[in-house]
Structure 1
Amino acid sequence: MQWTRLSFAGFSLICMNIACTDKFEAVNTDDHAATEEMMSYDNLKTGSFFKQLQRSVVLFKDGRNLSSDYQVSQGLTSDLYSGYIAPTGSWYNGIHNGSYYFITGWIDKTFRSGFADAMQSWLFLSKAAQEQNLPEVAALGLVAKVEAMHRVADAYGPIPYTGFGSGTSGGDYDALDLVYNQFFKELDEAIDVLTAYAIANPSSQILRKYDYVYSGDPVKWIRFANTLRLRLAMRVVYANPTLARQEAEKSVTNVFGVISDLGDRASLKHSGDLVYMHPLFEIAYNFNEGEARMTASMDAYLNGYKDPRISAYFKPAALDGLYHGVRLGITPASWANYTGNKISNLNVDNSSTEIVWMTVAESYFLRAEGALRGWQMGGDAKTFYEQGITMSFSENKVQGAVAYIANSTDKPSAFTDNVGSSNAAAPSDVTIAWEDGVSDERKLEKIITQKWIAMYPDGPEGWAEFRRTGYPRLLPVVVNNSNGTINTALQVRRIPYPQAEYNNNASGVKSGIAKLGGPDNGGTKLWWDKK
């Protein structure tokens, strides 16, 4: 269903009566299904909506969404622009998102899914939790909602967020700084509620049967929420440094703290209740014999550093047993060689690889950057930086972290196209080992470069961090088909609004563009993109 100029409350009412309810397992019922009273037992009603909300953060084939929904919501946008994944489908002879010519149908799913799936699930969950007087359940919903919707805001900019479901917004967009203020407000509220609940109810569980991430452990949800608040605090550091420090230090000083060990990793766990194939597996192996491969930037950094994680992320090319990537923006006469035995495929299992919302390593790199900025993070930048690398090695089940951390000589390598002639110089000369005597900016490049490697394949986060900091230095597109709207050196900064918004919410999207501060194209920077 597409947006109209109806209020969001009106939209919600429509969704509760027609097609939108098809995607919510607790709502799409018949005369013989559970009654409202029955659904209040054992958290069935709230649990069903919470399950759907978790499924809406990253789309995957689950009976409602398809792997192709992931591809058009993330795989053909942020996964590319983060420098993680190269598109190797033969679509449009390479003149598409990968070369900055946006395909209309490839830029709307993130927006549509965010509102039709994540926000609707949250709205129903919130109302049900309020009816049943379950503030701790509502708090979980807020955390999951922010995790889903900051990805939408970071892709487009201003979005219609703060008035959703209230009937007051009329489809108007909020400026991105106001959206972020609301994110912080919601996380603050959720963390306070969950912290009080966990202290008053030790060893308790919330929605255990419906929680794919932490099996109902409120303390782990608090740590994730604190780390999510820390992530978003760092996102706004160049736009509002005072707010950034305030929210970051608040997260670290919470009694339960932030993510710190492997058990805190936020991911959708495979279980009897959640059996799924990671969408990157199907895209890389089943779609037209492969539509995603290792990028040239990953090739340059991982090969240059002799990084042991390369084997956890990618498979060696069958032809020579080495790792080879693909540059964005190429237009070869034939794509067959780029999906063949000369290029590295993704190392993803069809049944065990988890969809990860947040790695443990990211938490340490966030604290490293905070400490570098002089914030109270509970330690120093060097220690957190090295802990982040160590944890990433552990998360990826590879050895050699100690030697890697001490490596002061290896640098990213020049890229050589193993099929064609799209070669490139090394993107950076940054080394791995911490150096006390270099500038803070050089230290920041080290932190973000290693953070980027550790977060693979989280495209939305990798792309956001590249835009925020300029690191890691990524290889530019070979051909830029944006008609001058995107600077090749700066690279793409956002995704344009969906055509459906222009068709069905013209005044709303107009208000969003006014608050964006520039034209609705891929070259306009977002509010937090100030560096």
Structure 2
Amino acid sequence: MNLKNIGKIFALSVAGFMLHSCLDFDVTGAEFNSTTKNEKKVVRQGKVDSINYKVNITEDQYNKLYAKVETNLKTALGGVYAIRGGKNGAPPVSHAYQYLSTFYQDAFAQYGVIPHVNYPYSGINIVSSTAIDQKAYGGAYGQLQMATKAMVPLLNMEEVDSLPEVKATYLLFFDYACLESVDNYGPMPYQDIKTNKQEHPFTYDDVETIYNSIEANIDTIVKCYEYYEANRPAWYKTLMQQQLAANTKCNTYAQGSYPDLGVLKRFANSLKLRMAMHIVKVNPDKAKKWAEEAVASGVIEQEDQEIGFITAVTGNGNPMIELWNSWSDMRLGAGYEQVLRAFNHPFLEMLFEKNSRIANVKDDSKSLEAGTKVCGILAGAHVGQEQGSSSNPYNGFSQLNQKAMGNAPLYLMKLSEVCFLRAEGAVRGWNMGGSAQQFYEQGIREANVLDRTQQHRKLRKMYENAVDDYLKIESATPFTYVDPTGNDADRVSEITVGVKWNESDDREVKLEKIITQKYIAGFPNSLEAWTDLRRTGYPRLFNILNMADGDGSLVQGGMVHRLPFPGSSDAATLKEINETGLKALGGADKQATRLWWDVNKPNF
């Protein structure tokens, strides 16, 4: 697909996609050349939202259709990978993952903080967690472009209308990618992108419209999978399950063949359940309806139904190891440390290494000697300039544990998240198929971030052996964060709730417990953690420092509510933002502007 079809329309400057060493990114538009040289170029604008899942074809017709879409289908796999930082049609890699998540979302969720300001080969300078660098803040949208450029041509091919399960599956992944972008930035030209519009002008759809469109798609996708299971002949199922597994590679079963398409149906319903909880404050009746429909239809309930990129399937390890440990481009965030210390959580020692030497800039006698403890950087701190240098004390904060995180999956939908969503729904009085306590405790038991099939045995046992006692914790351990560099004042944790479920607790306390444990389990999916923080205010993290480094809209003690529209340096895109984007947003193009679902009102 020509770059102008999608990428050019919303492109960040080429410099925004080019880095050296720790940020060595190729020129935008080259991402899929290796897989698309024989690809059928698609300019057709199909009816992507319509899936004729009852269409009947013979085995000979199937083979002929598949031959026509095969190259586009293989290219679409690269689009699936791009959702979590894939590049060149390959599984997630460090460069792309960095643009997707590390520059901003990780700090907003306080999972991690960049320990230096300067990226010497790219010209990027991020002075603190809220500071907008024009070359960096649109990175998540750049990954969306890669995903959509790879999947949209397939979705608009005439032939794919006769392979409804293929269409349903890639529409599901397309919608997943768009939803994440919307939760980052807000309105986008969702319908124009989906239907393969080729030229300007592009119209921005508002967040509510996009959510409703995706939910309607999910309902159709689920019907497609249900019809498939009930009506397709055995030969058809064998071929379809093998080919979808080979070209999605996001589940344990994708090593060979899906046993059926139930795992994809559960993924779709789980996404609907997540969306329901996002909108609970702006439209509680619709949220309840979506959530109960999703659960009744079937959500993820077992580990082998989880959706994510697993080393055993993709052949690639977790890109975070290179990013954190080799490049020194990320360190543990003090917010995540704070929450883990509140409950003496096993992740503190499992997932992170103890510090290297951290010099105290005011009193060297107070410097933190190497190997003292696991420690994180305060979000928003004014860190040092140098990358990887011992002269920058922030490089000494905690890195990742290679054994634990080297093969940790990058999840799109994890069982523990679904459990916590059902627990929250039950607290709200919805029919979630069980009790809040049942799902809450199951979510904690299923929280382990390690690879389910290739876990380091000692680390796996460390978590499993700790859970029973962990579930009995009555209250949080008091914690005062002391900045080892001496640059910032002490911070006292405001977390007081325990882990143990008490049915007599009021709904607000129950919600805080659920979201706090969900936050722990969700690492490193910082976008979803940031979304929960925006919609509920939990967990009770330290305030981000130096909010004035943002775009002027932020206040100390507040939070970042969105990233500005990307691509505004392009005149045509800027015009579209001004003509339809701002109206769809309903406010200024600022970090403090709330998205449609981000309502400033009580949780109950």
TM interval, shorter chain, is 0.7 to 0.9
Q: Deviations over 1:162-209 (max 9, x none)?
A: 232354983110111001111101111111111221233587515222
The AA in structure 1 aligned to 2:98 is Q
C-alpha distance in 1 between matches for 2:127 and 2:219: 37
Q: 2:509 aligns with which of 442, 458, 467?
A: 442
C-alpha distance in 1 between matches for 2:450 and 2:282: 32
Tell me if 1:140 matches 2:169: yes
Paired residues of 1:9 and 1:167 also in contact (CA < 8 A): no
Q: 1:170 aligns with which of 201, 204, 212?
A: 201
Change (3 A) 1:354 1:42: farther
Partner of 1:34: none
Paired residues of 2:148 and 2:174 also in contact (CA < 8 A): yes
C-alpha distance in 1 between matches for 2:472 and 2:190: 46
Change (3 A) 1:228 1:88: same
**Identity across matched positions, percent:** 26
C-alpha distance in 2 between matches for 1:332 and 1:21: 34
C-alpha distance in 2 between matches for 1:308 and 1:518: 43
Q: How do 1:44-443 and structure 2 match up within 5 A? A: 44-60=70-86, 67-91=94-118, 96=126, 98-114=128-144, 116-128=145-157, 130-131=159-160, 133-164=162-193, 165=195, 167=197, 170-201=201-232, 204=238, 205=241, 206-214=243-251, 215=254, 216-217=257-258, 218-254=261-297, 257-271=298-312, 274-287=314-327, 290-317=328-355, 319-332=370-383, 336=390, 338-341=393-396, 343-348=397-402, 352-393=407-448, 397=460, 398-399=463-464, 400-411=466-477, 413-422=479-488, 423-443=490-510
Q: Displacement, 1:499?
A: 4.0
C-alpha distance in 1 between matches for 2:546 and 2:284: 36
Q: How do 1:12-23 and structure 2 match up within 5 A? A: 20=29, 23=32
Which blocks of at least 5 consecutive residues in structure 2 are unaligned? 11-26, 41-62, 357-369, 452-459
Paired residues of 1:86 and 1:326 also in contact (CA < 8 A): yes
Tell me if 1:515 matches 2:584: yes
Partner of 2:44: none
The AA in structure 2 aligned to 1:479 is N
Q: Displacement, 1:226?
A: 0.8
The AA in structure 1 aligned to 2:588 is P
C-alpha distance in 1 between matches for 2:87 and 2:574: 32
> Between Structure 1 and Structure 2, how many residues are aligned?
512
TM-score by length of 1: 0.88
Q: Deviations over 1:276-327 (max 9, x none)?
A: 342211211222xx11111111111112211012233212235244211110
SS of the equivalent of 2:331 reads: strand
The AA in structure 2 aligned to 1:448 is I
Paired residues of 1:2 and 1:504 also in contact (CA < 8 A): no
Paired residues of 1:73 and 1:106 also in contact (CA < 8 A): no
Partner of 2:58: none
SS of the equivalent of 1:357 reads: strand
Q: Displacement, 1:250?
A: 0.9
SS of the equivalent of 2:485 reads: coil
Q: Deviations over 1:469-517 (max 9, x none)?
A: 1111221222221264112222111001124465232231111112212
Paired residues of 1:47 and 1:207 also in contact (CA < 8 A): no
Partner of 2:38: 29
Paired residues of 2:35 and 2:89 also in contact (CA < 8 A): no
C-alpha distance in 1 between matches for 2:572 and 2:449: 48
Q: Displacement, 1:53?
A: 1.9
Paired residues of 1:122 and 1:145 also in contact (CA < 8 A): yes
SS of the equivalent of 1:71 reads: helix
SS of the equivalent of 1:301 reads: helix
Q: Bigger shift: 200-209 or 52-61?
A: 200-209
C-alpha distance in 1 between matches for 2:592 and 2:539: 19
Partner of 2:574: 506
C-alpha distance in 2 between matches for 1:212 and 1:8: 25
Which blocks of at least 5 consecutive residues in structure 1 are unaligned? 13-17, 32-36
Tell me if 1:462 matches 2:529: yes
C-alpha distance in 2 between matches for 1:321 and 1:62: 41
The AA in structure 2 aligned to 1:86 is V
Q: Displacement, 1:69?
A: 2.7
The AA in structure 2 aligned to 1:260 is E
Change (3 A) 1:415 1:130: farther
The AA in structure 1 aligned to 2:202 is G
Paired residues of 2:352 and 2:401 also in contact (CA < 8 A): yes
SS of the equivalent of 2:135 reads: helix
C-alpha distance in 2 between matches for 1:82 and 1:108: 17
Partner of 2:24: none
Partner of 2:557: 489
The AA in structure 2 aligned to 1:175 is D
Change (3 A) 1:259 1:312: farther
Q: CA RMSD in A?
A: 3.1
The AA in structure 2 aligned to 1:28 is K
C-alpha distance in 2 between matches for 1:296 and 1:60: 28
TM-score by length of 2: 0.78
